[in-house]
């Protein structure tokens, strides 16, 4: 269920979630490249990871500035959906909500986002 917050903040929450997933994929690929002895590709991936970390930090700073905290992922019982609970501090209270994603949609969107890197 979505909290009553601006679309700009919802987009920032979405961006932060996908940046975390991108970092996970890039780190995994870098470890595989290092194991295979592919130093050039490993250095390229390291640069991509550093840029992604900078983007994530900017997004996280924006969210913190607006009082948003995102919690760890919660899986549904059927393993088809995942939820990211979040809240926003406002005037002594909280606005709570969740970002709910279908796993296959996450995989598809992540593949599209990763195509700009690899």
Continuous segment of H or E residues that includes residue 43: helix 39-65
- The DSSP annotation for 49-115 comes to HHHHHHHHHHHHHHHHHTTEEE---EE-TTSSEEEEEEEEEETTEEEEEEEEEEHHHHHHHHHHHHT
Nearest-angstrom CA–CA distance, 77 and 50: 35
Residue 2 lies in a domain: no
Name the pLDDT band for 46 (thresholds 50, 70, 90).
very high
**Residue 118 clears pLDDT 80, i.e. is over it:** no
Q: Quick one: pLDDT at residue 3?
A: 82
Residue 45 counted as domain residue: yes
Q: pLDDT band for position 34 (50/70/90)?
A: very high
Number of domains in the chain: 1
Range of the domain at 56: 7-114
Residue 53 has pLDDT above 80, yes or no: yes
Report if residue 1 sits inside a domain. no
Question: How much is the pLDDT for 117?
Answer: 78
């Amino acid at each position: 269920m979505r909290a009553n917050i601006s679309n700009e903040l919802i987009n920032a929450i979405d961006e932060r979630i996908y940046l975390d997933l991108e970092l996970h994929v890039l780190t995994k690929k870098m470890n595989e490249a290092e194991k295979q002895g592919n130093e050039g590709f490993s250095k390229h991936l390291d640069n991509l990871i550093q840029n992604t970390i900078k983007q994530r930090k900017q997004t996280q700073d924006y969210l913190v500035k607006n009082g948003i905290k995102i919690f760890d992922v919660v899986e549904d019982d059927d393993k088809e959906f995942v939820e990211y609970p979040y809240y926003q501090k406002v005037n002594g209270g909280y606005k709570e909500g969740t970002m709910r994603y279908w796993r296959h949609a996450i995989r598809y969107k992540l593949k599209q986002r990763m195509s700009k890197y690899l």
